[in-house]
Amino acid sequence: MDAHDLITRNAAEVVTEEEVEEIAADLEERSSSGSRTQSGDPEGKRAYVGYEPSGVLHIGHMLGANKLIDLQEAGMEVVILLADVHAYLNGKGTFEEIRETATRMQEQFVAYGLDEERTEFVLGSEFQFGEEYTLDLHALELETTLSRAERAMSEIGSGDSVTVSQAVYPLMQALDIEYLDIDLAVGGMEQRKVHMLARDTLPSIDYEAPTCLHTPLISELSTGIGKMSSSSGVTISMEDSTEEIEDKVNGAFCPAGEVDPEPTEEDEARNNPVLEIFEYFVFPRFDEVVVARPDEYGGDLRYDAYEQLVSDFASGELHPADAKSALARYLDSLIEPGREKLMEQRGG
């Protein structure tokens, strides 16, 4: 697979396609001249994802991490920002609590396949309290209206009303891209408004507009409303046991035949999380997905592409109960190796 395909596979969108093509062309050129993955190279291309530290990684977080693994393969240097100050500004706990969970999160990324030697882990507080950063932040504050900052936070902010800290948050996220010297900012689709704000405002303080890549979102498991998240709803975490995975997947929202479920009466959009997890998390890792079925119900179903599975689901050939039991099995096999490693590390 060439650099462009590695960068863009399983992405929901890139902003802009031309800019990504330029990054890919540069990586290809460096690879053919033999100067590919030297870390610390000032000419190297760098990508990052930022996470508010939370107790345990969930499968939604892994979409960004898997993208970073693709980008490493394409020859990019990758950075994971453990955004402790951002989590604090977003009301996620005391600073001490957040710091502790940041260490746990780093351990988990490594257990789940990010090569420690080739991944730079950075805590936000390591550079966000510097004088230059603070002055740049104030300069961005002068360039941004409160309503724009508020809109950027509409899918990220916790709590009912926006606090001043949450208006500062997206401006700091924009500045991080500059201070970490990032060529490609990666995040889930709910980060796009912050990234658009960064593209619009960074040039006004003489920094470049960042190139961005957004990964799809996995919905909350039991209702299909909103995104799966660490702080609320039913979430498949990377530390769940086999039984926990089975129970959660069994209770997942997965109406028979409904690929695009109707919105609720309150007009909230709904998705089918079982299908989403197959599409974004399982199919990218397996050449073939087998749904086991007793012979009296027609025997096993085999799929080598998500589109085949979804078409059988829509026609009724694939029943939700069979889809769920297959999903639980595949999830467990993807989660097991890291779960074991973490247990060993913790002496369990």
Ligand X SMILES: N[C@@H](Cc1ccc(O)cc1)C(=O)O
Which residues define the annotated binding site for L-tyrosine?
A: 48, 169, 173, 176, 191
Site map 139..178 versus ligand X, x via CB under 6 A: -----------------x----------------x--x--
Q: Which residue has the tokens 């900052």?
A: 149
Does residue 217 belong to the site contacting ligand ATP (CB under 6 A)?
yes
The yes or no reply on residue 52 touching ligand X (CB under 6 A) is yes
Binding residues: 48, 169, 173, 176, 191, 230
Largest separation between any pair of C-alpha atoms in the chain: 70
**Which of 76, 83, 111, 186 is in the footprint of ligand X by CB under 6 A?**
83
173, interface contact from ligand ATP, ligand X, none, CB < 5-8 Å by kind: ligand X
Q: Is the dihedral of CA 122, 128, 131, 134 positive or negative?
A: positive
- Phi–psi pair at 119, nearest 5 degrees: -120, 125
Closer residue to ligand ATP in complex, CB, 83/301: 83
Binding positions for ligand ATP, 181-200, rule CB under 6 A: 187-188, 190-191
Q: How many CB atoms lie within 10 A of CB 34?
A: 7
Of 49-57, 205-213, 300-308, 328-336, the segment contacting ligand X by CB under 6 A is 49-57
Query: Shortest gap between Cβ of 276 and ligand X (angstroms)?
Result: 19
Binding segment for ligand X (CB under 6 A), chosen from 6-14, 81-89, 278-286, 291-299, is: 81-89
Q: Where are the beta strands (DSSP E) in the chain?
A: 13-15, 46-51, 77-82, 119-123, 184-188, 211-215, 289-291, 301-303
Residue with tokens 């462009």: 4
Which C-beta is closer to ligand ATP: that of 63 or that of 177?
A: 63
Q: Residues 51, 169, 303, 330: which binds ligand ATP (CB under 6 A)?
A: 51
Least distance from C-beta 174 to ligand ATP, angstroms? Answer: 15
Counting contacts by CB under 6 A, is residue 273 touching ligand ATP?
no
DSSP string, 103-159: HHHHHHHHHTT--GGGEEEEEGGGTTTSHHHHHHHHHHHHHS-HHHHHHHTTTT--S
User: Are the C-beta atoms of residues 280 and 218 closer than 8 Å to each other?
Assistant: yes
- Nearer CB in complex with ligand ATP: 222/229: 229
- Structure token digits, residue 109: 């990324």
| Helices and strands in the chain, H and E counts | 13, 8
Could you say whether residue 84 binds ligand X (CB under 6 A)?
Answer: no
User: Helices 131-143 and 164-179 sit at what angle, rounded to 10 degrees?
Assistant: 120
- Please report how the helices 306-315 and 320-345 are oriented relative to each other, as an axis angle in degrees rounded to 10: 140
Kindly list the residues in this chain that would bind ligand X in the complex (CB under 6 A). Answer: 50-52, 81, 83, 86, 156, 173, 176, 191
Interacting residue ranges for ligand ATP, rule: CB under 6 A? 49, 51-52, 54, 58, 60-61, 63-64, 187-188, 190-191, 215, 217-218, 227-231
